[in-house]
Amino acid sequence: MGQKRLKKMLVTGAAGGIGRAIRTKLAPLADIVRLSDRAGLGQAAPHEEIVYCELTEKDSVDNMVAGCDGIVHLGGQSVEADWETVRDSNIEGMYNLYEAARKHKVGRIFFASSNHVIGYYPQSQLLDAQTPPRPDGLYGVSKAFGEALASLYHDKFGIETAIVRIGSCFPEPVDHRMLATWLADDDLISLLECMFEASRLGCPVIYGMSDNDVVWWDNSQVAYLGWKPKHSSAIFKEMLDAKIERPHKDAAVSVYQGGVFTEHPIMEKKPN
Protein backbone atom coordinates (compact mmCIF):
# COMPACT_ATOMS: atom_id res chain seq x y z
CA MET A 1 0.00 0.00 0.00
CA GLY A 2 1.10 3.53 -0.72
CA GLN A 3 0.31 6.82 0.99
CA LYS A 4 -3.39 6.12 1.15
CA ARG A 5 -3.08 3.51 3.91
CA LEU A 6 -6.05 3.98 6.20
CA LYS A 7 -5.68 4.78 9.87
CA LYS A 8 -8.70 2.82 11.00
CA MET A 9 -10.72 0.65 8.63
CA LEU A 10 -14.13 -0.66 9.69
CA VAL A 11 -15.25 -4.04 8.32
CA THR A 12 -18.92 -4.85 8.92
CA GLY A 13 -20.20 -8.42 8.58
CA ALA A 14 -16.71 -9.58 9.51
CA ALA A 15 -17.99 -12.85 11.01
CA GLY A 16 -19.50 -13.94 7.68
CA GLY A 17 -18.03 -16.11 4.94
CA ILE A 18 -16.15 -13.34 3.10
CA GLY A 19 -15.13 -11.60 6.33
CA ARG A 20 -13.57 -14.78 7.72
CA ALA A 21 -11.82 -15.52 4.41
CA ILE A 22 -10.15 -12.10 4.13
CA ARG A 23 -9.59 -11.25 7.80
CA THR A 24 -5.91 -12.16 7.97
CA LYS A 25 -5.21 -10.38 4.65
CA LEU A 26 -6.54 -7.00 5.76
CA ALA A 27 -3.60 -5.86 7.89
CA PRO A 28 -1.69 -4.10 5.03
CA LEU A 29 -4.69 -1.88 4.29
CA ALA A 30 -4.87 -0.03 7.59
CA ASP A 31 -3.04 0.65 10.84
CA ILE A 32 -6.04 -0.70 12.74
CA VAL A 33 -8.81 -2.97 11.44
CA ARG A 34 -12.07 -2.61 13.37
CA LEU A 35 -14.07 -5.78 12.86
CA SER A 36 -17.79 -5.68 13.48
CA ASP A 37 -20.74 -8.06 13.36
CA ARG A 38 -23.61 -9.18 15.56
CA ALA A 39 -22.16 -12.72 15.51
CA GLY A 40 -18.99 -14.01 17.19
CA LEU A 41 -15.64 -12.66 16.04
CA GLY A 42 -13.24 -14.48 18.35
CA GLN A 43 -10.14 -12.81 19.78
CA ALA A 44 -8.70 -9.60 18.35
CA ALA A 45 -5.16 -9.72 16.90
CA PRO A 46 -2.84 -6.83 17.94
CA HIS A 47 -3.83 -4.72 14.90
CA GLU A 48 -7.57 -5.47 15.33
CA GLU A 49 -10.46 -4.06 17.36
CA ILE A 50 -13.76 -5.88 17.80
CA VAL A 51 -17.04 -3.98 18.05
CA TYR A 52 -20.31 -5.89 18.26
CA CYS A 53 -23.12 -4.05 16.55
CA GLU A 54 -26.63 -4.71 15.27
CA LEU A 55 -27.00 -2.70 12.05
CA THR A 56 -30.63 -1.79 12.80
CA GLU A 57 -29.60 0.04 15.98
CA LYS A 58 -28.77 3.59 14.91
CA ASP A 59 -26.80 4.68 18.00
CA SER A 60 -24.81 1.49 18.00
CA VAL A 61 -23.95 1.97 14.29
CA ASP A 62 -22.91 5.54 15.04
CA ASN A 63 -20.49 4.33 17.74
CA MET A 64 -19.17 1.59 15.45
CA VAL A 65 -18.32 4.09 12.70
CA ALA A 66 -16.83 6.82 14.94
CA GLY A 67 -13.09 7.20 14.45
CA CYS A 68 -12.87 5.23 11.17
CA ASP A 69 -11.61 6.71 7.88
CA GLY A 70 -12.70 3.88 5.56
CA ILE A 71 -15.43 1.22 5.61
CA VAL A 72 -15.77 -2.22 4.01
CA HIS A 73 -19.49 -2.91 4.29
CA LEU A 74 -20.06 -6.65 4.10
CA GLY A 75 -22.73 -6.86 6.83
CA GLY A 76 -26.30 -7.68 5.97
CA GLN A 77 -28.73 -10.33 4.78
CA SER A 78 -26.78 -12.17 2.08
CA VAL A 79 -29.40 -14.39 0.42
CA GLU A 80 -33.12 -14.23 -0.35
CA ALA A 81 -35.38 -14.01 2.72
CA ASP A 82 -38.70 -12.60 3.89
CA TRP A 83 -39.23 -8.86 3.47
CA GLU A 84 -38.82 -7.95 7.15
CA THR A 85 -35.43 -9.67 7.38
CA VAL A 86 -34.17 -8.11 4.15
CA ARG A 87 -35.52 -4.67 5.05
CA ASP A 88 -34.07 -4.60 8.57
CA SER A 89 -30.49 -5.54 7.67
CA ASN A 90 -30.10 -4.18 4.14
CA ILE A 91 -32.32 -1.09 4.06
CA GLU A 92 -32.44 0.16 7.67
CA GLY A 93 -28.90 -1.06 8.24
CA MET A 94 -27.55 0.56 5.08
CA TYR A 95 -29.24 3.88 5.91
CA ASN A 96 -27.85 3.82 9.47
CA LEU A 97 -24.36 3.13 8.13
CA TYR A 98 -24.39 5.97 5.58
CA GLU A 99 -25.84 8.43 8.10
CA ALA A 100 -23.05 7.53 10.53
CA ALA A 101 -20.48 7.83 7.71
CA ARG A 102 -21.80 11.31 6.89
CA LYS A 103 -21.71 12.45 10.52
CA HIS A 104 -18.21 11.07 11.10
CA LYS A 105 -16.88 12.29 7.74
CA VAL A 106 -15.83 8.90 6.38
CA GLY A 107 -14.53 9.53 2.86
CA ARG A 108 -14.59 6.11 1.23
CA ILE A 109 -16.73 2.98 1.44
CA PHE A 110 -16.68 -0.45 -0.22
CA PHE A 111 -20.29 -1.61 -0.55
CA ALA A 112 -20.82 -5.34 -1.08
CA SER A 113 -23.64 -5.20 -3.58
CA SER A 114 -24.56 -8.32 -5.51
CA ASN A 115 -25.03 -9.81 -8.95
CA HIS A 116 -28.65 -10.33 -7.82
CA VAL A 117 -29.26 -6.63 -8.57
CA ILE A 118 -29.04 -7.68 -12.23
CA GLY A 119 -30.06 -11.32 -11.77
CA TYR A 120 -32.91 -11.38 -14.28
CA TYR A 121 -30.66 -10.49 -17.24
CA PRO A 122 -29.92 -13.47 -19.46
CA GLN A 123 -26.46 -14.98 -19.31
CA SER A 124 -26.17 -14.26 -23.06
CA GLN A 125 -26.13 -10.48 -22.43
CA LEU A 126 -22.93 -8.57 -21.63
CA LEU A 127 -23.62 -5.99 -18.91
CA ASP A 128 -21.64 -2.93 -17.90
CA ALA A 129 -21.73 -0.25 -15.23
CA GLN A 130 -24.60 1.59 -16.96
CA THR A 131 -26.90 -1.44 -17.08
CA PRO A 132 -30.09 -0.67 -15.11
CA PRO A 133 -31.01 -2.98 -12.21
CA ARG A 134 -33.14 -6.01 -12.94
CA PRO A 135 -33.28 -7.68 -9.52
CA ASP A 136 -34.19 -11.33 -9.11
CA GLY A 137 -35.77 -11.07 -5.62
CA LEU A 138 -36.26 -8.91 -2.54
CA TYR A 139 -32.58 -9.39 -1.66
CA GLY A 140 -31.58 -8.01 -5.08
CA VAL A 141 -34.02 -5.12 -4.64
CA SER A 142 -32.43 -4.29 -1.27
CA LYS A 143 -28.97 -4.19 -2.86
CA ALA A 144 -30.34 -1.91 -5.62
CA PHE A 145 -31.55 0.36 -2.79
CA GLY A 146 -28.06 0.28 -1.32
CA GLU A 147 -26.56 1.28 -4.67
CA ALA A 148 -29.02 4.19 -4.94
CA LEU A 149 -28.25 5.31 -1.38
CA ALA A 150 -24.51 5.25 -2.07
CA SER A 151 -25.11 7.37 -5.19
CA LEU A 152 -27.17 9.86 -3.18
CA TYR A 153 -24.51 10.24 -0.48
CA HIS A 154 -21.89 10.74 -3.19
CA ASP A 155 -23.81 13.45 -5.03
CA LYS A 156 -25.04 15.22 -1.88
CA PHE A 157 -22.10 14.79 0.51
CA GLY A 158 -19.14 13.64 -1.60
CA ILE A 159 -18.77 10.25 0.10
CA GLU A 160 -17.09 7.95 -2.41
CA THR A 161 -18.30 4.35 -2.71
CA ALA A 162 -17.09 1.39 -4.73
CA ILE A 163 -20.42 -0.29 -5.50
CA VAL A 164 -19.22 -3.84 -6.06
CA ARG A 165 -21.73 -6.24 -7.61
CA ILE A 166 -20.01 -9.33 -6.25
CA GLY A 167 -20.55 -12.50 -8.27
CA SER A 168 -19.71 -15.54 -6.11
CA CYS A 169 -16.93 -15.09 -3.56
CA PHE A 170 -16.20 -18.55 -2.22
CA PRO A 171 -13.02 -20.66 -1.97
CA GLU A 172 -13.91 -22.22 -5.35
CA PRO A 173 -16.85 -22.37 -7.79
CA VAL A 174 -19.40 -24.98 -6.73
CA ASP A 175 -21.43 -25.11 -9.95
CA HIS A 176 -21.03 -24.28 -13.66
CA ARG A 177 -22.68 -20.85 -13.31
CA MET A 178 -19.88 -19.81 -10.97
CA LEU A 179 -17.35 -20.30 -13.78
CA ALA A 180 -18.59 -16.83 -14.83
CA THR A 181 -19.37 -15.30 -11.42
CA TRP A 182 -16.45 -16.53 -9.27
CA LEU A 183 -14.39 -13.96 -7.34
CA ALA A 184 -11.24 -15.19 -5.58
CA ASP A 185 -10.71 -13.60 -2.18
CA ASP A 186 -7.19 -12.47 -3.22
CA ASP A 187 -8.77 -10.55 -6.12
CA LEU A 188 -11.19 -8.96 -3.67
CA ILE A 189 -8.21 -7.88 -1.54
CA SER A 190 -6.49 -6.31 -4.56
CA LEU A 191 -9.72 -4.48 -5.40
CA LEU A 192 -9.82 -3.07 -1.85
CA GLU A 193 -6.21 -1.90 -2.26
CA CYS A 194 -6.98 -0.22 -5.59
CA MET A 195 -10.13 1.54 -4.41
CA PHE A 196 -8.63 2.87 -1.19
CA GLU A 197 -5.40 3.93 -2.92
CA ALA A 198 -6.99 5.63 -5.96
CA SER A 199 -6.60 9.41 -6.03
CA ARG A 200 -10.22 9.61 -7.24
CA LEU A 201 -12.80 6.89 -6.74
CA GLY A 202 -16.18 8.50 -7.38
CA CYS A 203 -19.15 6.16 -7.03
CA PRO A 204 -18.65 3.51 -9.73
CA VAL A 205 -20.42 0.21 -10.24
CA ILE A 206 -17.78 -2.54 -10.37
CA TYR A 207 -18.46 -6.18 -11.18
CA GLY A 208 -16.77 -8.36 -8.58
CA MET A 209 -15.37 -11.23 -10.65
CA SER A 210 -11.98 -12.80 -11.19
CA ASP A 211 -10.24 -13.05 -14.58
CA ASN A 212 -12.56 -15.86 -15.64
CA ASP A 213 -12.81 -17.30 -19.17
CA VAL A 214 -16.60 -17.03 -19.16
CA VAL A 215 -17.47 -13.31 -19.12
CA TRP A 216 -20.89 -11.70 -18.57
CA TRP A 217 -19.69 -8.34 -17.25
CA ASP A 218 -17.58 -5.49 -18.62
CA ASN A 219 -15.49 -3.50 -16.12
CA SER A 220 -13.82 -1.26 -18.72
CA GLN A 221 -15.43 1.86 -17.22
CA VAL A 222 -13.41 1.40 -14.03
CA ALA A 223 -10.07 0.80 -15.78
CA TYR A 224 -8.86 4.01 -14.07
CA LEU A 225 -8.67 2.09 -10.78
CA GLY A 226 -5.98 -0.18 -12.21
CA TRP A 227 -7.60 -3.32 -10.74
CA LYS A 228 -6.33 -6.46 -12.46
CA PRO A 229 -7.74 -9.71 -11.03
CA LYS A 230 -5.12 -12.48 -11.24
CA HIS A 231 -7.12 -15.63 -10.60
CA SER A 232 -9.43 -17.55 -12.93
CA SER A 233 -12.21 -20.07 -12.38
CA ALA A 234 -10.90 -21.97 -15.45
CA ILE A 235 -8.67 -24.15 -13.26
CA PHE A 236 -11.81 -25.61 -11.62
CA LYS A 237 -13.68 -26.46 -14.85
CA GLU A 238 -12.43 -30.03 -15.21
CA MET A 239 -13.15 -30.78 -11.57
CA LEU A 240 -16.69 -29.39 -11.91
CA ASP A 241 -17.36 -31.35 -15.12
CA ALA A 242 -16.27 -34.55 -13.38
CA LYS A 243 -18.18 -33.86 -10.17
CA ILE A 244 -21.53 -32.48 -11.34
CA GLU A 245 -23.66 -32.79 -14.43
CA ARG A 246 -24.07 -29.63 -16.50
CA PRO A 247 -27.58 -28.28 -15.83
CA HIS A 248 -30.17 -28.40 -18.63
CA LYS A 249 -29.87 -25.41 -20.99
CA ASP A 250 -33.40 -24.24 -20.08
CA ALA A 251 -32.87 -24.43 -16.30
CA ALA A 252 -32.83 -21.07 -14.49
CA VAL A 253 -29.23 -21.68 -13.45
CA SER A 254 -28.29 -21.86 -17.17
CA VAL A 255 -30.52 -19.02 -18.41
CA TYR A 256 -30.33 -16.17 -15.88
CA GLN A 257 -27.31 -14.40 -14.44
CA GLY A 258 -28.84 -14.71 -10.97
CA GLY A 259 -29.43 -18.46 -11.49
CA VAL A 260 -31.76 -20.15 -9.02
CA PHE A 261 -32.47 -16.87 -7.18
CA THR A 262 -34.97 -16.16 -10.00
CA GLU A 263 -36.96 -19.18 -8.81
CA HIS A 264 -37.39 -18.15 -5.18
CA PRO A 265 -40.94 -17.24 -4.14
CA ILE A 266 -41.69 -14.09 -2.15
CA MET A 267 -41.10 -15.54 1.30
CA GLU A 268 -43.39 -15.00 4.30
CA LYS A 269 -41.95 -14.15 7.69
CA LYS A 270 -42.15 -17.22 9.96
CA PRO A 271 -44.20 -16.58 13.13
CA ASN A 272 -42.01 -16.44 16.29
What H or E segment, with its residue span, contains residue 102?
A: helix 93-103
How many residues line the site for ligand 15L (CB under 6 A)? 7
DSSP 35-98: EEESS---PPPTTEEEEE--TT-HHHHHHHHTT-SEEEE--S--S---HHHHIIIIIIHHHHHH
Does position 36 interact with ligand 15L (CB under 6 A)? The reply is: no
| Residue 270 burial (C-beta neighbours within 10 Å; 0-12, 13-18, 19+) | exposed
User: Which one of 21-29, 34-42, 85-93, 109-117 is the stretch in contact with ligand 15L (CB under 6 A)?
Assistant: 109-117
**Among 36, 78, 233, 262, which residue interacts with ligand 15L (rule: CB under 6 A)?**
78
Q: How many residues bind ligand NAI (CB under 6 A)?
A: 26
State the minimum distance, in angstroms, from the CB of residue 28 to ligand 15L: 25
219 lies in the binding site for ligand NAI (CB under 6 A): no
> Residue 146 CB, nearest distance to ligand NAI (Å)?
9
C-alpha dist (Å) from residue 251 to 177, 246, 256, 259, 265: 11, 10, 9, 8, 16
- 114 near ligand 15L, judged by CB under 6 A: yes
Q: Which residues are catalytic?
A: 139
We find the least distance from the C-beta atom of residue 62 to ligand 15L, in angstroms, to be 26
Nearest to 142 by CA among 88, 207, 99, 61: 88
With b for 16 or more beta-carbon neighbours within 10 A and e for fewer, the 175-186 pattern comes to: bbbbbbbbbbbe
H or E segment to which residue 243 belongs: helix 237-243
- 12 counts as binding ligand 15L under rule CB under 6 A: no
Question: In the sheet that 70-73 helps form, which strands lie side by side, from edge to edge?
Answer: 48-52, 30-37, 6-12, 70-73, 108-114, 160-166, 205-208
The stretch near ligand NAI (CB under 6 A) out of 2-10, 34-42, 100-108, 254-262 is 34-42
- For residue 142, state whether it binds ligand 15L (rule: CB under 6 A): no
To ligand NAI, the closest distance from the beta carbon of 79 in angstroms equals: 7
Type of residue found at 234:
A
Pick the closer one to ligand NAI by CB: 81 or 203. Answer: 81
> Binding string to ligand NAI for residues 69 to 98, with x set by CB under 6 A, is what?
-----xxxxx---------xx---x-----
Told to check if 212 binds ligand 15L by CB under 6 A, we report no
Q: Are 160 and 71 spatial neighbours (Cβ–Cβ below 8 Å)?
A: no
Residue 126 in the binding site for ligand NAI (CB under 6 A)? no
The interface with ligand 15L within residues 165-194 (CB under 6 A) comprises 168, 181
> In the complex with ligand NAI, which residue's Cβ is closer, 93 or 204?
93
Write out the residues near ligand 15L by the rule CB under 6 A: 78-79, 114-116, 168, 181
